[in-house]
Amino acid sequence: MNTERKQVLAFRTLPPDQLARISALHEVTVADPSIPAQRAAFEEALPKAHGMIGSVFPIDAAMLARAPRLEVISSISVGVDNYPLPALDARGIVLCHTPGVLTETTADTLFGLVMACSRRLVDLAQLVREGGWKSNIGPDLFGWDVHGKTLGILGYGRIGQAVARRGALGFGMPVLYHARRPHELPELAGRARHAPLETVLAQSDIVVVTLPLSDETRGLMGERQFATMKQGAIFINGARGAIVDEAALLAALDSGHLRAAGLDVFATEPLPLDSPLRRHPKVTPLPHVGSGTHETRHAMAELATTNLLRALAGEEPVARYATGGA
Protein backbone atom coordinates (compact mmCIF):
# COMPACT_ATOMS: atom_id res chain seq x y z
CA MET A 1 0.00 0.00 0.00
CA ASN A 2 1.25 3.46 -0.94
CA THR A 3 1.18 5.83 2.09
CA GLU A 4 2.78 8.91 0.49
CA ARG A 5 0.79 12.14 1.08
CA LYS A 6 -0.42 13.26 -2.31
CA GLN A 7 -2.12 16.34 -3.75
CA VAL A 8 -5.87 16.16 -4.22
CA LEU A 9 -7.92 18.73 -6.08
CA ALA A 10 -11.59 18.71 -5.08
CA PHE A 11 -13.36 20.56 -7.89
CA ARG A 12 -16.59 20.62 -5.97
CA THR A 13 -17.43 21.11 -2.29
CA LEU A 14 -17.40 17.86 -0.35
CA PRO A 15 -19.37 16.96 2.78
CA PRO A 16 -17.14 17.76 5.80
CA ASP A 17 -16.78 14.12 6.88
CA GLN A 18 -15.57 13.06 3.42
CA LEU A 19 -13.21 16.03 3.15
CA ALA A 20 -11.80 14.98 6.54
CA ARG A 21 -11.20 11.42 5.27
CA ILE A 22 -9.14 12.74 2.39
CA SER A 23 -7.33 15.42 4.42
CA ALA A 24 -6.23 12.80 6.95
CA LEU A 25 -4.13 11.14 4.24
CA HIS A 26 -3.46 13.80 1.60
CA GLU A 27 -3.17 17.55 0.96
CA VAL A 28 -6.46 18.84 -0.38
CA THR A 29 -7.29 21.98 -2.35
CA VAL A 30 -11.00 22.68 -2.75
CA ALA A 31 -11.57 24.87 -5.79
CA ASP A 32 -14.67 24.78 -7.97
CA PRO A 33 -13.71 26.23 -11.37
CA SER A 34 -17.32 27.10 -12.15
CA ILE A 35 -17.11 29.74 -9.39
CA PRO A 36 -15.11 32.63 -10.89
CA ALA A 37 -13.45 33.47 -7.55
CA GLN A 38 -12.11 29.89 -7.30
CA ARG A 39 -10.91 29.47 -10.87
CA ALA A 40 -7.35 30.70 -10.21
CA ALA A 41 -6.94 28.32 -7.27
CA PHE A 42 -8.15 25.46 -9.47
CA GLU A 43 -5.64 26.33 -12.20
CA GLU A 44 -2.85 26.59 -9.64
CA ALA A 45 -3.66 23.21 -8.07
CA LEU A 46 -4.17 21.37 -11.38
CA PRO A 47 -0.48 20.83 -12.33
CA LYS A 48 0.28 19.41 -8.86
CA ALA A 49 -2.77 17.18 -8.54
CA HIS A 50 -2.39 13.40 -8.22
CA GLY A 51 -6.09 12.96 -7.66
CA MET A 52 -9.23 14.91 -8.53
CA ILE A 53 -12.69 14.49 -7.07
CA GLY A 54 -15.86 16.31 -8.01
CA SER A 55 -18.67 16.51 -10.54
CA VAL A 56 -20.64 18.73 -12.89
CA PHE A 57 -17.69 20.76 -14.22
CA PRO A 58 -16.44 19.16 -17.46
CA ILE A 59 -12.78 18.18 -17.42
CA ASP A 60 -11.55 18.26 -21.02
CA ALA A 61 -8.39 16.97 -22.69
CA ALA A 62 -6.71 20.40 -22.57
CA MET A 63 -7.21 20.53 -18.82
CA LEU A 64 -5.86 17.02 -18.50
CA ALA A 65 -2.73 18.13 -20.36
CA ARG A 66 -2.18 20.71 -17.60
CA ALA A 67 -2.26 17.92 -15.00
CA PRO A 68 0.86 15.85 -15.72
CA ARG A 69 0.88 14.03 -12.36
CA LEU A 70 -2.75 12.98 -12.42
CA GLU A 71 -3.40 9.36 -11.41
CA VAL A 72 -7.14 9.33 -10.77
CA ILE A 73 -10.34 11.29 -11.34
CA SER A 74 -13.11 10.26 -8.97
CA SER A 75 -16.41 11.54 -10.24
CA ILE A 76 -19.31 12.09 -7.84
CA SER A 77 -21.74 10.93 -10.52
CA VAL A 78 -22.68 7.80 -12.34
CA GLY A 79 -22.48 9.51 -15.75
CA VAL A 80 -18.96 10.03 -17.13
CA ASP A 81 -19.77 12.15 -20.18
CA ASN A 82 -17.90 15.11 -18.61
CA TYR A 83 -14.51 13.42 -19.02
CA PRO A 84 -12.26 12.86 -22.05
CA LEU A 85 -12.27 9.06 -22.03
CA PRO A 86 -9.69 8.46 -24.81
CA ALA A 87 -7.24 10.93 -23.23
CA LEU A 88 -7.67 9.31 -19.81
CA ASP A 89 -7.20 5.91 -21.35
CA ALA A 90 -4.08 6.98 -23.25
CA ARG A 91 -2.47 8.22 -20.01
CA GLY A 92 -3.66 5.28 -17.90
CA ILE A 93 -5.52 7.65 -15.56
CA VAL A 94 -8.08 5.80 -13.47
CA LEU A 95 -11.66 7.09 -13.78
CA CYS A 96 -14.11 6.19 -10.99
CA HIS A 97 -17.82 6.89 -10.68
CA THR A 98 -20.74 6.20 -8.35
CA PRO A 99 -23.13 3.62 -9.79
CA GLY A 100 -25.59 1.78 -7.58
CA VAL A 101 -25.93 4.22 -4.69
CA LEU A 102 -28.15 6.61 -6.66
CA THR A 103 -30.30 4.10 -8.54
CA GLU A 104 -33.45 4.08 -6.43
CA THR A 105 -33.41 7.83 -5.75
CA THR A 106 -33.05 8.65 -9.43
CA ALA A 107 -35.85 6.23 -10.32
CA ASP A 108 -38.02 7.93 -7.67
CA THR A 109 -37.39 11.29 -9.34
CA LEU A 110 -38.22 9.92 -12.78
CA PHE A 111 -41.42 8.37 -11.52
CA GLY A 112 -42.19 11.66 -9.78
CA LEU A 113 -41.97 13.34 -13.19
CA VAL A 114 -44.25 10.66 -14.66
CA MET A 115 -46.83 11.41 -11.96
CA ALA A 116 -46.38 15.18 -12.15
CA CYS A 117 -46.89 15.25 -15.93
CA SER A 118 -49.76 12.74 -16.06
CA ARG A 119 -51.71 14.11 -13.13
CA ARG A 120 -50.72 17.73 -13.74
CA LEU A 121 -49.54 18.04 -10.16
CA VAL A 122 -47.45 21.17 -10.68
CA ASP A 123 -50.25 23.02 -12.55
CA LEU A 124 -52.75 22.11 -9.85
CA ALA A 125 -50.46 23.09 -6.98
CA GLN A 126 -49.81 26.38 -8.74
CA LEU A 127 -53.56 26.97 -9.11
CA VAL A 128 -54.11 26.47 -5.39
CA ARG A 129 -51.11 28.63 -4.45
CA GLU A 130 -52.31 31.45 -6.65
CA GLY A 131 -55.81 31.38 -5.14
CA GLY A 132 -57.38 30.00 -8.31
CA TRP A 133 -59.27 27.17 -6.55
CA LYS A 134 -62.66 28.83 -6.37
CA SER A 135 -64.95 26.00 -7.40
CA ASN A 136 -64.80 22.28 -8.18
CA ILE A 137 -62.05 21.36 -10.58
CA GLY A 138 -63.45 20.44 -13.98
CA PRO A 139 -62.23 18.46 -16.97
CA ASP A 140 -59.99 21.28 -18.17
CA LEU A 141 -57.75 20.55 -15.20
CA PHE A 142 -58.13 16.78 -14.95
CA GLY A 143 -55.08 14.63 -15.50
CA TRP A 144 -54.61 11.21 -17.07
CA ASP A 145 -54.22 7.84 -15.34
CA VAL A 146 -50.78 6.37 -14.93
CA HIS A 147 -51.77 2.89 -13.71
CA GLY A 148 -52.25 0.41 -16.49
CA LYS A 149 -50.62 2.59 -19.17
CA THR A 150 -47.75 1.21 -21.23
CA LEU A 151 -44.39 2.39 -19.93
CA GLY A 152 -41.54 2.64 -22.44
CA ILE A 153 -38.00 2.80 -21.11
CA LEU A 154 -34.97 3.72 -23.21
CA GLY A 155 -31.91 2.23 -21.56
CA TYR A 156 -32.28 -0.69 -19.20
CA GLY A 157 -29.37 -0.40 -16.82
CA ARG A 158 -29.80 -0.10 -13.08
CA ILE A 159 -31.94 3.05 -13.25
CA GLY A 160 -34.07 1.86 -16.18
CA GLN A 161 -34.76 -1.39 -14.35
CA ALA A 162 -35.67 0.48 -11.16
CA VAL A 163 -38.14 2.61 -13.14
CA ALA A 164 -39.56 -0.58 -14.68
CA ARG A 165 -40.10 -2.13 -11.22
CA ARG A 166 -41.98 0.95 -10.06
CA GLY A 167 -44.19 0.95 -13.13
CA ALA A 168 -44.83 -2.78 -13.44
CA LEU A 169 -45.09 -3.76 -9.79
CA GLY A 170 -46.47 -0.55 -8.32
CA PHE A 171 -48.73 0.72 -11.09
CA GLY A 172 -49.59 -2.41 -13.09
CA MET A 173 -47.98 -0.97 -16.21
CA PRO A 174 -46.84 -3.22 -19.05
CA VAL A 175 -43.21 -2.28 -19.73
CA LEU A 176 -41.43 -2.13 -23.08
CA TYR A 177 -37.73 -1.38 -22.98
CA HIS A 178 -35.05 -0.63 -25.53
CA ALA A 179 -31.54 -1.83 -24.70
CA ARG A 180 -28.65 -3.50 -26.52
CA ARG A 181 -29.76 -6.89 -25.21
CA PRO A 182 -32.67 -8.37 -23.28
CA HIS A 183 -32.39 -8.56 -19.48
CA GLU A 184 -34.41 -11.31 -17.85
CA LEU A 185 -35.37 -9.98 -14.42
CA PRO A 186 -37.28 -12.70 -12.52
CA GLU A 187 -39.47 -10.17 -10.66
CA LEU A 188 -40.57 -8.63 -13.98
CA ALA A 189 -41.11 -11.90 -15.88
CA GLY A 190 -44.09 -11.50 -18.18
CA ARG A 191 -44.33 -7.78 -17.38
CA ALA A 192 -41.35 -6.26 -19.22
CA ARG A 193 -40.46 -6.91 -22.85
CA HIS A 194 -37.33 -6.05 -24.83
CA ALA A 195 -38.22 -4.32 -28.12
CA PRO A 196 -36.64 -2.22 -30.87
CA LEU A 197 -36.58 1.55 -30.36
CA GLU A 198 -39.33 2.18 -32.92
CA THR A 199 -41.65 -0.30 -31.21
CA VAL A 200 -41.06 1.15 -27.77
CA LEU A 201 -41.76 4.66 -29.07
CA ALA A 202 -44.81 3.66 -31.10
CA GLN A 203 -46.52 1.59 -28.41
CA SER A 204 -45.80 3.41 -25.15
CA ASP A 205 -48.03 5.97 -23.45
CA ILE A 206 -45.13 7.24 -21.40
CA VAL A 207 -41.50 7.11 -22.55
CA VAL A 208 -38.70 7.52 -20.00
CA VAL A 209 -35.08 8.04 -21.09
CA THR A 210 -32.40 6.54 -18.82
CA LEU A 211 -29.60 6.07 -21.36
CA PRO A 212 -26.01 7.22 -20.82
CA LEU A 213 -24.78 9.94 -23.18
CA SER A 214 -22.43 8.53 -25.81
CA ASP A 215 -21.75 8.99 -29.52
CA GLU A 216 -24.50 6.43 -30.08
CA THR A 217 -27.16 8.21 -28.01
CA ARG A 218 -26.37 11.88 -28.71
CA GLY A 219 -29.39 13.36 -30.51
CA LEU A 220 -31.17 9.99 -30.43
CA MET A 221 -34.56 11.59 -29.84
CA GLY A 222 -35.22 13.84 -32.85
CA GLU A 223 -38.12 14.85 -35.06
CA ARG A 224 -38.67 11.35 -36.48
CA GLN A 225 -38.56 9.66 -33.09
CA PHE A 226 -41.02 12.13 -31.53
CA ALA A 227 -43.32 11.65 -34.54
CA THR A 228 -43.15 7.89 -33.95
CA MET A 229 -44.41 8.32 -30.38
CA LYS A 230 -48.13 7.87 -29.77
CA GLN A 231 -50.44 10.84 -30.11
CA GLY A 232 -50.87 12.23 -26.58
CA ALA A 233 -47.85 10.42 -25.14
CA ILE A 234 -45.71 11.79 -22.33
CA PHE A 235 -41.93 12.11 -22.60
CA ILE A 236 -39.58 12.04 -19.60
CA ASN A 237 -35.81 12.62 -19.71
CA GLY A 238 -33.70 12.06 -16.62
CA ALA A 239 -30.51 11.02 -18.41
CA ARG A 240 -28.68 13.75 -20.33
CA GLY A 241 -30.09 16.70 -22.27
CA ALA A 242 -27.93 16.08 -25.33
CA ILE A 243 -29.79 12.83 -26.03
CA VAL A 244 -32.73 14.99 -27.09
CA ASP A 245 -33.10 17.48 -29.92
CA GLU A 246 -34.84 20.12 -27.81
CA ALA A 247 -36.22 22.02 -30.83
CA ALA A 248 -37.83 18.80 -32.08
CA LEU A 249 -39.30 18.14 -28.65
CA LEU A 250 -40.75 21.65 -28.49
CA ALA A 251 -42.27 21.23 -31.95
CA ALA A 252 -43.88 17.93 -30.90
CA LEU A 253 -45.35 19.59 -27.80
CA ASP A 254 -46.52 22.69 -29.66
CA SER A 255 -48.21 20.70 -32.41
CA GLY A 256 -50.19 18.80 -29.77
CA HIS A 257 -48.63 15.49 -30.75
CA LEU A 258 -47.11 15.03 -27.30
CA ARG A 259 -49.16 15.73 -24.19
CA ALA A 260 -46.35 16.73 -21.85
CA ALA A 261 -42.67 16.43 -21.06
CA GLY A 262 -40.90 16.05 -17.72
CA LEU A 263 -37.26 17.06 -17.96
CA ASP A 264 -34.58 16.83 -15.29
CA VAL A 265 -31.77 17.44 -17.78
CA PHE A 266 -31.12 19.92 -20.59
CA ALA A 267 -28.66 20.48 -23.40
CA THR A 268 -27.35 23.52 -21.49
CA GLU A 269 -27.35 23.52 -17.71
CA PRO A 270 -28.34 25.49 -15.74
CA LEU A 271 -31.22 26.01 -18.16
CA PRO A 272 -30.76 29.46 -19.76
CA LEU A 273 -33.37 31.99 -18.71
CA ASP A 274 -34.42 32.50 -22.33
CA SER A 275 -34.97 28.78 -22.99
CA PRO A 276 -38.55 28.18 -24.22
CA LEU A 277 -38.54 24.98 -22.14
CA ARG A 278 -38.41 26.98 -18.89
CA ARG A 279 -41.95 28.30 -18.91
CA HIS A 280 -43.58 26.04 -21.48
CA PRO A 281 -47.03 25.06 -20.18
CA LYS A 282 -46.53 21.43 -21.16
CA VAL A 283 -43.07 21.06 -19.64
CA THR A 284 -42.27 20.19 -16.04
CA PRO A 285 -38.62 21.24 -15.68
CA LEU A 286 -36.37 20.15 -12.81
CA PRO A 287 -32.84 21.42 -12.12
CA HIS A 288 -30.92 18.12 -12.64
CA VAL A 289 -31.82 16.67 -9.25
CA GLY A 290 -32.37 13.01 -10.11
CA SER A 291 -30.08 11.91 -7.29
CA GLY A 292 -30.65 15.02 -5.19
CA THR A 293 -31.59 13.79 -1.74
CA HIS A 294 -29.51 14.30 1.40
CA GLU A 295 -28.95 10.57 1.81
CA THR A 296 -28.03 9.79 -1.76
CA ARG A 297 -25.78 12.78 -2.39
CA HIS A 298 -23.89 11.86 0.77
CA ALA A 299 -23.63 8.22 -0.29
CA MET A 300 -22.27 9.35 -3.67
CA ALA A 301 -19.63 11.57 -2.05
CA GLU A 302 -18.68 8.73 0.29
CA LEU A 303 -18.27 6.22 -2.53
CA ALA A 304 -16.33 8.73 -4.62
CA THR A 305 -14.02 9.39 -1.65
CA THR A 306 -13.43 5.67 -1.15
CA ASN A 307 -12.70 5.29 -4.86
CA LEU A 308 -10.23 8.17 -4.77
CA LEU A 309 -8.40 6.96 -1.66
CA ARG A 310 -8.12 3.43 -2.97
CA ALA A 311 -6.80 4.53 -6.34
CA LEU A 312 -4.25 6.88 -4.73
CA ALA A 313 -3.09 3.98 -2.55
CA GLY A 314 -2.58 1.83 -5.63
CA GLU A 315 -5.59 -0.35 -4.77
CA GLU A 316 -8.54 -1.28 -6.96
CA PRO A 317 -11.37 1.27 -6.49
CA VAL A 318 -14.88 0.05 -5.68
CA ALA A 319 -16.30 1.48 -8.89
CA ARG A 320 -13.78 2.03 -11.64
CA TYR A 321 -15.19 3.06 -15.00
CA ALA A 322 -13.70 1.07 -17.86
CA THR A 323 -12.59 3.87 -20.19
CA GLY A 324 -12.00 1.55 -23.11
CA GLY A 325 -8.49 0.20 -22.99
CA ALA A 326 -8.67 -0.15 -19.21
Instruction: Give the binding site for ligand DGY (CB under 6 A).
Output: 55, 77-79, 102, 290-291
Residue 261 phi/psi, 5° resolution?
A: -135, 140
CB 60 within 8 A of CB 19: no
Comparing CB distances to ligand DGY, the nearer of 72 and 102 is: 102
Catalytic residue among 198, 269, 295, 316: 269
User: Is there a catalytic annotation at residue 194?
Assistant: no
Measured in whole angstroms, the distance separating CA 163 from the mean position of its chain's CA atoms is 13
CA distances from 238 to 14, 208, 251, 253, 316 (A): 24, 8, 20, 18, 30
Comparing CB distances to ligand DGY, the nearer of 83 and 226 is: 83
Q: How far apart are CA 201 and CA 206, in angstroms?
A: 9
Name which of 161, 153, 163 is nearest 185 in CA terms: 161
User: Is there a catalytic annotation at residue 269?
Assistant: yes
For the bound state, the minimum distance from the C-beta of residue 199 to ligand DGY, rounded and expressed in Å, comes to: 27
Comparing CB distances to ligand DGY, the nearer of 176 and 303 is: 303
CA distances from 235 to 5, 154, 194, 203 (A): 49, 11, 19, 13
Contacts of 136 (CB under 8 A, 6+ apart): none
Comparing CB distances to ligand DGY, the nearer of 95 and 168 is: 95
User: Is there a catalytic annotation at residue 27?
Assistant: no
Q: How far apart are CA 147 and CA 106, in angstroms?
A: 20
Comparing CB distances to ligand DGY, the nearer of 195 and 244 is: 244
Catalytic residue among 240, 259, 297, 310: 240
For the bound state, the minimum distance from the C-beta of residue 82 to ligand DGY, rounded and expressed in Å, comes to: 8
Q: How far apart are CA 128 and CA 258, in angstroms?
A: 26
Name which of 88, 205, 203, 95 is nearest 146 in CA terms: 205
For the bound state, the minimum distance from the C-beta of residue 184 to ligand DGY, rounded and expressed in Å, comes to: 26
Q: How far apart are CA 256 and CA 67, in angstroms?
A: 50
CA atoms within 13 A on the CB side of 14: 31
For the bound state, the minimum distance from the C-beta of residue 292 to ligand DGY, rounded and expressed in Å, comes to: 9
Determine the residue with CB nearest ligand DGY: 79
Comparing CB distances to ligand DGY, the nearer of 258 and 321 is: 321
For the bound state, the minimum distance from the C-beta of residue 42 to ligand DGY, rounded and expressed in Å, comes to: 19
For the bound state, the minimum distance from the C-beta of residue 239 to ligand DGY, rounded and expressed in Å, comes to: 8
Residues identified as active-site: 240, 269, 288
